[in-house]
């Protein structure tokens, strides 16, 4: 698992920040957990959280881009599980490149919580579900909020 090397982040005070959570509905059992964990983490940190849904991972970038123009940070959540065709590689590459470009073009943090796994079991282990070893919904929210706070500090100088 990729949890190795994850920094310990103290609780983030995101009071006054507005964050959008954009979640795919494909692989709903996984995405619903990611979504709930991100939203609850954002609210616990004091952020105002808006929630949006799209069908699949490929639909995330266009909605994330619009949200990045309106919010202090955005969290993109989805789950792509490898099948027997190269489609997995195209989807993962497209989504990652799109989300990175949006963050840079809009100067808005985008927490990338799109799981890219080989199996459904790996996705469950990373989703934040009870008993899982990782919590990518919460981690993506913390990363986005922390980055938004750093940008606010830089812009206030």
pLDDT in tens, 77-118: 999 999 777 777 788 889 999 999 999 999 999 999 999 999
- Catalytic positions are 87
* 83 annotated to a ligand binding site: no
Q: Is the pLDDT of residue 1 over 80?
A: no
For 107, the token pair is 């100067």
Has residue 67 been placed in a domain?
Answer: yes
Both structure tokens of 126: 């990373």
Segments forming the whole domain that contains residue 87: 18-156
CATH of the domain at 93: 3.40.50.960
Contact call for residues 26 and 55 (beta carbons, < 8 A): yes
The number of domains in the chain is 1
126 is in an annotated binding site: yes
Whether the per-residue pLDDT at 140 is higher than 70: the answer is yes
Q: Find out whether 69 is annotated in a ligand binding site.
A: no
Nearby residues of 61 by Cβ (< 8 Å), 6 or more positions away: 76, 94, 95, 98, 99, 101, 102
Residue 6 lies in a domain: no
Nearest to 33 by CA among 95, 123, 117: 123
pLDDT tens, position by position, 46-63: 999 999 999 999 999 999
What is the Cα–Cα distance from 75 to 67, expressed in whole angstroms?
10
Residue 84, annotated as binding a ligand: yes
Q: What is the C-alpha to C-alpha distance for residues 5 and 17, in angstroms, rounded to an integer? A: 27
Model-level pTM?
0.93
């Amino acid at each position: 698992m990729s949890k190795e090397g994850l920094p310990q982040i103290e609780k983030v005070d995101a009071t006054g920040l507005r964050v959008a959570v954009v979640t795919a509905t494909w692989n709903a059992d996984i995405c619903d957990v990611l979504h709930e964990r991100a939203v609850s983490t954002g609210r616990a940190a004091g952020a105002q959280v808006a929630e949006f849904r799209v069908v699949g991972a490929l639909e995330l970038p266009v909605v994330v881009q619009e949200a990045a123009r309106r919010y202090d940070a955005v969290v993109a959540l989805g789950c792509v599980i490898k099948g027997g065709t190269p489609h997995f590689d195209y989807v993962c590459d497209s989504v990652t490149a799109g989300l990175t470009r949006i963050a840079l073009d809009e100067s808005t943090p985008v927490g990338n919580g799109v799981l890219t796994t080989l199996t459904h079991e790996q996705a469950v282990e990373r989703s934040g579900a009870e008993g899982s070893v990782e919590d990518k919904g919460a981690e993506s929210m913390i990363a986005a909020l922390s980055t938004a706070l750093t940008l606010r500090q830089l812009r206030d100088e």
